[in-house]
């Protein structure tokens, strides 16, 4: 066996909240062959298994039982489909932001709105990451998975991934699939998306047509609003933007004229969860060693020494306040494990 398992391994540096979680056993998986070795060990030991990417969308308990495996499959392949379209196949262990940055540098466009989102390429489809009017599903052609239930590696096309807002087949069937590679369709021709007001406000009409300018603006806005996990532990946006009916939207808009919302189609509206939380005075508040970021109410942070129990208390308190005030339920984005 080429895999190297480590016991009582600290995951503090491998989750962006910086919680001092400890894995019973830990291993890095760098190839399909090593993945199959991991499969054999999981079967032999009957151990629970957590697959880690960048640890950016995860809330860990103090002790993590069984095996924690970090996916470290790398590599990129490029295939020109025509004068405009390029298929890019990327290992699931690659860093997400580095993929966005390097693709742009090679004149391949489409990912620029998704800059500075922490995590790995393999984790991106699970959450269907999105920002500033773009979701990763819009760029994905197919996803290669190892299916634990069927014990085989195969490709799923975009439709089969069953993507939804901050959701996917992989999230709903947690534990069944391990994403080994992702295939993107990128363009040599710019088709920028600048419909979100915060982006339009900082870009001139000319810059709105330039993917490089969009990338720079997204990086600047995110850096101003979202803390660097290396400096202040966080899991990015902690709550999903809730979607409500047209009737509920009218009710809320009547009571709160400055309500921030966006049409979601089929007569539904997406509410800005950060606005709802901010209006209730949560921004900058602290509970024990965790709190709400001073600049962005949607981000919960670990000031150092925080743990899952503290974060859950804070999140539950915010959810109760929002439900009491607006009649709207907030749903966390990160996955809680175990």
- Residue where a domain terminates, one of 71, 100, 116: 71
- Shared-domain flag, residues 181 and 257: no
Same-domain status, 154 and 220: yes
| Contact between 259 and 198 (Cβ < 8 Å) | no
Judgement on whether residues 90 and 197 belong to the same structural domain of the protein: yes
Closest CA to 144 of 75, 62, 230: 75
The Cα–Cα gap between 94 and 96 comes to 6
Does residue 126 sit in the same domain as residue 99? yes
By C-alpha distance, which of 288, 268, 292 is closest to 280? 292
Question: For residue 51, what are the contacts with CB-CB under 8 A and spacing of at least 6?
Answer: 69, 70, 71, 178
Among 56, 103, 120, 237, the active-site one is: 237
**85 and 143 assigned to the same domain:** yes
298 forms beta bridges with: none
Residue 191 lies in a domain: yes
285 assigned to some structural domain: yes
Residue 281 resides in a domain: yes
pLDDT score for 197: 85
| Alpha helix ranges (H) inside 17-74 | 32-45
With respect to residue 279, please indicate whether it lies within any of the assigned structural domains: yes
| Count of other CB atoms within 10 angstroms of residue 75 | 12
Of the residues 19, 41, 71, the one at which a domain ends: 71
> Within this chain, do residues 330 and 278 fall inside the same structural domain, yes or no?
yes
Residue 247 lies in a domain: yes
Whether 230 sits among the annotated catalytic residues: the reply is no
Last residue of some domain: 71, 91, 119?
Answer: 71
The pTM of this model reads 0.83
Q: Which whole-number Å values give the CA distances from 86 to 184, 186, 210, in the listed order?
A: 8, 5, 19
Question: In this structure, what CATH number is given to the domain that contains residue 17?
Answer: 3.30.43.10
Residue 309 resides in a domain: yes
Are 179 and 243 in a shared domain? Answer: no
> Residue 323 and residue 105: Cα distance in Å, rounded?
45
Is 333 among the catalytic positions? Answer: yes
The whole-number pLDDT of residue 1 equals 63
Which residues, in sequence order, are CB contacts of 251 under 8 Å at separation 6+? none
36 and 115 fall within a common domain: no
**Tokens matching residue 34:** 């090593």
- Is 54 in the same domain as 141? no
266 assigned to some structural domain: yes
Whether the Cβ atoms of residue 29 and residue 180 lie closer than 8 Å to each other:
no
pLDDT digits (tens, 9 = 90+) for 150-208: 999 999 999 999 999 889 999 999 889 999 999 999 999 999 999 988 899 999 999 99
Catalytic residue among 34, 112, 144, 333: 333
Nearest to 26 by CA among 57, 73, 55, 64: 64
Catalytic residue among 25, 166, 181, 183: 166
Cα–Cα dist 316/135, whole Å? 27
Candidates 333, 36, 29, 26; CA nearest to 168 is: 333
- Residues 214 and 256 occupy one common structural domain: no
Residues in the chain: 338
CATH of the domain at 324: 3.90.78.10
Residue 296: give the domain boundaries. 227-337
pLDDT digits 0-9 by tens, 327-337: 999 999 999 99
Give the sign of the dihedral formed by CA 254, CA 260, CA 262, CA 268.
negative
Among 63, 66, 123, 120, CA closest to 333? 123
Q: Two tokens at 298?
A: 């949607």
Same domain, 86 and 185: yes
Q: Output the domain CATH number for residue 147.
A: 3.30.465.10
Give me the number of domains the chain comprises: 3
Tell me: do 107 and 209 sit in the same domain. yes
User: Does the residue 1 lie in any domain?
Assistant: no
Both structure tokens of 147: 């299916």
Residues of the chain with pLDDT under 50: none
């Amino acid at each position: 066996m080429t895999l190297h398992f480590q016991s009582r391994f600290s995951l503090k540096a491998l989750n962006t909240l910086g919680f001092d979680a400890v894995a019973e056993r830990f291993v890095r998986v760098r190839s399909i062959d090593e993945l199959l070795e991991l499969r054999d060990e999981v079967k032999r030991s009957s151990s629970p298994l957590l697959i880690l990417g960048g640890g950016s969308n995860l809330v860990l308990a103090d002790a993590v039982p069984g095996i924690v495996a970090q996916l470290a499959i790398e590599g990129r392949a490029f295939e020109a489909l025509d004068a405009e379209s390029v298929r890019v196949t990327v290992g699931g262990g690659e860093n997400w932001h580095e993929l966005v940055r390097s693709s742009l540098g090679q004149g391949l466009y489409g990912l620029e709105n998704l800059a500075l989102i922490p995590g790995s390429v393999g984790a991106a489809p699970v959450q269907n990451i999105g920002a500033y009017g773009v979701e990763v599903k819009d760029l994905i052609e197919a996803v290669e998975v190892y299916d634990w239930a069927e014990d085989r590696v195969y490709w799923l096309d975009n439709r089969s991934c069953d993507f939804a807002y901050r959701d996917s087949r992989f999230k709903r069937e947690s534990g069944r699939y391990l994403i080994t590679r992702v295939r993107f369709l990128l363009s040599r021709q710019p088709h920028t998306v600048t419909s979100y007001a915060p982006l339009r406000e900082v870009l001139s009409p000319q810059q709105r047509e330039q993917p490089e300018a969009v990338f720079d603006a997204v990086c600047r806005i995110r850096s101003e609003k979202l803390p660097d996990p290396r400096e202040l532990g966080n899991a990015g946006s902690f709550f999903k933007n809730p979607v409500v009916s047209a009737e509920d939207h009218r009710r809320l808009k009547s009571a709160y004229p400055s309500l921030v919302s966006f049409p979601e189609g089929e007569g539904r509206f997406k509410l800005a969860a950060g606005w709802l939380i901010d209006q209730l005075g949560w921004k900058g508040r602290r509970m024990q060693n965790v709190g709400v970021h001073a600049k962005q109410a949607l981000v919960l942070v670990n000031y150092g020494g925080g743990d899952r129990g503290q974060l859950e208390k804070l999140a539950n308190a915010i959810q109760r306040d929002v439900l009491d005030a607006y009649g709207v339920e907030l749903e966390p984005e990160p996955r809680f494990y175990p």
